[in-house]
Amino acid sequence: MIKANDSNRKSWISVPKDSDFPIQNIPFGVFKKQNNQVCIGTRIGDVAIDLGLLQKLNYFKNIPLNRDVFQKKKLNDFLKLKKTVWRQVRDRIAEIFDDKHHSEFNHKKEVLHAVEEIEMMMPIKIGDYTDFYSSRQHAYNVGCMFRDPKNALLPNWLHMPVAYHGRASSIIISGTDVYRPMGQQLMENSSTPTFGPTRLLDFELEMAFITGQGNELGEQIKTSEAENYIFGMCVFNDWSARDIQKWEYVPLGPFLGKNFASSISPWIVTLDALEPFRVNGEKQDPATLPYLRFEGQKNIDIELEVQISSDNFAPHSLTKSNYKHLYWNMAQQLAHHTINGCNVNAGDIMASGTISGSNPETYGSMLELTWKGTKPIKMPDGTDRKFLNDYDTIHMKAHAKCGNYRIGFGEIRTKILPVKKQSFASN
Ligand code: CA
C-alpha cells in the first residue's frame, strides 16, 4: 500500500474540484519564486510547496536523504535515490499536508506559494532522450501515408518497441515558444530539394517517462524490474516538421525534422501516483521474444487532449486520445533499450511515440487528423488548418481519473513563432 495514495485523504490546502493536483498526486518540479530563488517543489491544488525549505526545517529527518538533495536546482540527485526513498518522501509530504495535521504546521508563509506567483523551470537536467514509436495505430497511419497501405507496418514493428535517439538539448518546458524551423524539402514532382521554412509544422501527442539511476554498461534491465527504474511521467510534444522529415529520414531516421524542439509539462507525476490507473494493454500477437514478456497490468489509463488557440480564438479541441492505447508498455521499452547493455542514467527521458487511438478523432498529430493535409480542420474563426500556423498555440493535457479524485499533469502550452533568423536565402 502506498500511503500517499489513500483516496480518503484530504489536505488542509484547498483543492479546487477537478484539480489535477489533489493531495494524492504530489508531483515533483522546480520553480522560481518571486524573489528569483529557484527551488525544488511539489504542488497541492493551486499552491506550490518549497521542498528545499521543508528539508531545512527538518521535516524529512527520518528519511535517508543527503542534506542538500532538495537544495539543488534540478531533481537529478533525488532521481538517483531508490524507489523506496521517493515513496517515503511522498508519504511524508502527504502526512504534513493532511487535514489532521493542520494545526502542527507553522511555516505557511515561507513554504507555500500561489502558483500564479511562481515560474515553472526545467525540472531535470536531461541526459539522454529516446523516442519510441509504440502506438500501433500511429505506426500504421504513418506507414500508409509515407510508404504503402499494403505494407504499412514494417516487419520488425510487432517484434520490438522501435525507437530513435533524439536530442536532449532542445527539450523545453511549457511556456517556451517554438520558432518555425528552416530546412530542406523535396517539393512534389521535383527531383532536387528546396530550402525554406517548414510548411508542414506539426505536434505529436506523447507521454514520456523519466528514469532514476539505471543499469551499468553491459547490464540489462528485465521487464519485471523495469518499473523500479522509472521515477515518473510527463506530457511530451514531439514537434515535427513533416516536409523536412520526409526528405531526410531515409535511411537513418529522424534528424532535423524533429530536433528543433520537444516540449514537456513541468510537473513530474510519479509512477506511484499513477498506480490506481493500471489497465491491460492490447494482446500482443505474435508472441514476443522471452526478454519482452511481462506480468501484470502495465498500461495506464491516462486521458489525453490537444487543443489549439490563436489570437482570434480560445482553446479549441483538436483530438482526445488515451495513453492506454500503446502496444508496447514502459517496462518493455526499458527492457528493450537495455537488452544490448546500453546504460541508462538518472534523468534520461523516454517518450512513448505519438499516441493515436483507433478512430480518426483520436489521432495524435495533424498529419493523421488531416490525413496529410487532404482533410483540413475548420477553426472557430472560420480559417482552416492542414498543419500549424505561426502564432498558433498548442495545449496538451493529461489526467487519470477515478471515483473521487484525478491525477493530472497540468498542461504543455507552446506558441509557434515565425522563423527566428533567416540566415540563408530561401529558394
Ligand atoms: Ca515522436
3 state SS for 12-57:
CCCCCCCCCCCCCCCCEEEEECCCCCEEEEEEECCEEEEHHHHHHC
The 3-state DSSP class for residue 415 equals: strand
Ligand 1 centroid from CA 234, angstroms: 14
3-state secondary structure 81-93: CCHHHHHHHHHHH
The 3-state DSSP class for residue 80 equals: coil
163: enclosing H helix or E strand: strand 163-165
The HSE-up count of residue 313 (CA atoms within 13 Å, CB side) is: 15
The C-alpha atoms of residue 266 and residue 29 are separated, in whole angstroms, by 6
The C-alpha atoms of residue 337 and residue 161 are separated, in whole angstroms, by 9
Cα–chain-centroid distance for residue 303? 13
Output the pLDDT for position 404.
87
* β-bridge mates for residue 234, sequence order: 208
Which tens digit of pLDDT belongs to each residue from 250-300? Answer: 999 999 999 999 999 999 999 999 999 999 999 999 999 999 999 999 999
The 3-state DSSP class for residue 176 equals: coil
Question: CATH homologous superfamily for 129-420?
Answer: Fumarylacetoacetase-like, C-terminal domain (3.90.850.10)
User: Do the beta carbons of residue 91 and residue 312 sit within 8 Å?
Assistant: no
For the record, the C-alpha cell of 89 comes out as 518522501
Annotated catalytic residue within 113, 138, 325, 337:
138
Choose among 165, 178, 364, 350: nearest CA to 263.
Answer: 178
Choose among 162, 144, 164: nearest CA to 153.
Answer: 144
Output the pLDDT for position 403.
83
Ligand 1 centroid from CA 318, angstroms: 18
Ligand 1 centroid from CA 64, angstroms: 38
The C-alpha atoms of residue 388 and residue 237 are separated, in whole angstroms, by 14
In this model, does residue 424 exceed pLDDT 80? no
In this model, does residue 331 exceed pLDDT 90? yes
310 — pLDDT class (breaks 50, 70, 90):
very high
Choose among 201, 108, 80: nearest CA to 68.
Answer: 80
Output the pLDDT for position 190.
96
Q: Where in the chain is the domain with CATH 3.90.850.10?
A: 129-420
For the record, the C-alpha cell of 250 comes out as 531515409
Ligand 1 centroid from CA 139, angstroms: 10
Choose among 408, 413, 322, 412: nearest CA to 19.
Answer: 408
1 — pLDDT class (breaks 50, 70, 90):
confident
242 — pLDDT class (breaks 50, 70, 90):
very high
3-state secondary structure 216-276: CCCCCCCCCCHHHHEEEEEEEECCEEHHHHHHHCCCCCCCCCCCCCEEECCCEEECCCCHH
The C-alpha angle 310, 314, 317, rounded to 5 degrees, equals: 95
Ligand 1 centroid from CA 170, angstroms: 14
Q: Label residue 324 left, alpha or beta by phi (over 0 means left) and psi (-120 to 50 means alpha).
A: alpha
Q: Note if 113 is an active site residue.
A: no
For the record, the C-alpha cell of 30 comes out as 522546480
When pLDDT is averaged across residues 30-42 and rounded to a whole number, the result is 97
Ligand 1 centroid from CA 132, angstroms: 7
User: Do the beta carbons of residue 219 and residue 74 sit within 8 Å?
Assistant: no
The C-alpha atoms of residue 128 and residue 120 are separated, in whole angstroms, by 22
Output the pLDDT for position 146.
82
- Cis-peptide into 286, omega within 30 deg: yes
Choose among 230, 233, 274: nearest CA to 400.
Answer: 274
Q: Where in the chain is the domain with CATH 2.30.30.230?
A: 29-121
Ligand 1 centroid from CA 33, angstroms: 33
The C-alpha atoms of residue 343 and residue 218 are separated, in whole angstroms, by 7
The 3-state DSSP class for residue 195 equals: strand
The C-alpha atoms of residue 392 and residue 310 are separated, in whole angstroms, by 5
421 — pLDDT class (breaks 50, 70, 90):
confident
425 — pLDDT class (breaks 50, 70, 90):
low
Ligand 1 centroid from CA 260, angstroms: 13
Let me know how long the chain is: 427
What architecture (CATH level 2) is domain 29-121?
Roll (2.30)
User: Do the beta carbons of residue 416 and residue 180 sit within 8 Å?
Assistant: yes
The C-alpha atoms of residue 179 and residue 176 are separated, in whole angstroms, by 10
In this model, does residue 396 exceed pLDDT 90? yes
For the record, the C-alpha cell of 148 comes out as 504503402
For the record, the C-alpha cell of 167 comes out as 536530442
Q: Label residue 36 left, alpha or beta by phi (over 0 means left) and psi (-120 to 50 means alpha).
A: left
